Amino acid sequence: MRLLIDIGHPAHVHLFKNFAHSMIRKSHQVFFTVREKEFEIDLLKHEGFYFTSLGKHYQSKFGKVWGLFKFTFLSIITSYRFKPDIYLSHGSMYAALTSFLFRKPNIAFEDTGNWEQVRLYFPFTEAVLTSTSFPINYGKKQVYYDGYHELAYLHPNYFKPDKSIIDELGVNEGEKYFILRFVSWDASHDIGQGGLKLEQKRELINLLREHGKIFISSEKKIDEEFENYKFQLAPEKMHDALAFADLFVGEGATMASECAVLGTPAVYVNSLQRGYTTEQEKKYGLVYNFVDGSGVRAKVQELLSDSTLKYKSEKAHKKLLSEKIDVTAFLEWFIENWPESFRIMKGNPDYFYIFR
């Protein structure tokens, strides 16, 4: 089987990497196309995957329209050369349009529900895989599984955090440390949205540095006044760092969810709320959701003052892992048995529990 996987964000590399490695070991051929946004190329090289870059993301409205034609054209050229049997992506319109032209199935993961993207790829997609926490019903094409994207790469079957990261970060024994994440707000779904204001970032940093070290990850160039806090290690080290952090505060839903499946308490600040982070708060108490910066400092102060926070987080983490499935194992089965797997899931929607 020949699989083409389209990547548009660093998290997409993580989402598919264990699946890709497993399929390659089974003698399937896997090729990636990538649209460069942050450090996708570094991650693909680190994993040793074959890929081609379609170019960098465009930030302007005109650029995004031009990118629709450019990236689709380059995807068509790549497909003509690679001749994939199945296309996979996190809701990529480029993979979907190309798959339609080549009359091959396109299978999409979805966890954001950004309608301006969904409406472009959905008509050309055979199946859309979503978590049971996903709040939108897409009808007959939708297949549910009880898990999160982040469990495709941070499930204990695949990931064991390396404690040597603490020394690499320069954190002393017994010293706390915190990770902050700021987004760029230039994606199409970010128009009109927001998170932490500059002054609120300052207040958070002033509070947290009294309790430990701070490391900042950012999609865009970090404000000069925060440059000393920049996370300096290779991007593939971030998950180890999150696993042993005492607290995460950020505008990125993916990293907040990563913290939840690693057992690290997270404060998510974004006017775009996600079904999975909402579930991770209501069901497990591992994420605290805010639509803006109001009340965030008070919540962080409360968490810093809670001497039982680590114990409660570890307990909730074990509960989460016991209830959710191995998403990579589910995806392997779904792809290798396509299209019969789709029929099985529609006839028995709880079939995914065999992968728990």
Q: Locate 1 and state its tokens.
A: 């089987």
How much is the pLDDT for 273? 87
How much is the pLDDT for 188? 43
In the numeric block, the tokens 């017994």 are attached to 174
Total length of the chain: 356
Task: Identify the sign of the CA torsion 274, 276, 282, 287.
Answer: negative
As a whole number of angstroms, the distance between CA 192 and CA 271 comes to: 9
Per-residue pLDDT of the chain (356 residues; tens, 9 = 90+): 999 999 998 889 999 999 999 999 999 999 999 998 778 999 999 999 999 999 887 666 766 777 788 889 999 999 999 999 999 999 999 999 999 999 999 999 999 888 888 999 999 999 999 999 999 999 999 999 999 999 999 999 999 999 999 999 999 988 999 999 998 644 444 444 467 999 999 999 999 999 999 999 988 777 888 999 999 999 899 999 999 999 999 999 999 999 999 999 999 999 888 999 999 999 999 999 999 999 999 999 999 999 999 999 999 999 999 999 999 999 999 999 999 999 999 999 999 999 99
Q: What is the pTM of this model?
A: 0.90
- Report which of 73, 75, 115, 117 is spatially closest to residue 93, judged by C-alpha positions: 117
As a whole number of angstroms, the distance between CA 52 and CA 40 comes to: 11
- Report which of 344, 249, 22 is spatially closest to residue 155, judged by C-alpha positions: 22
Strand, coil or helix: what is 80?
Answer: helix
How much is the pLDDT for 147? 97
Residue at 233: amino acid letter: L
User: Which domains, ranges and CATH numbers included, belong to the chain?
Assistant: 2-147+325-355 (3.40.50.2000), 165-323 (3.40.50.2000)
DSSP 36-69: ESSSHHHHHHHHT--EEEEEEPP-SHHHHHHHHH
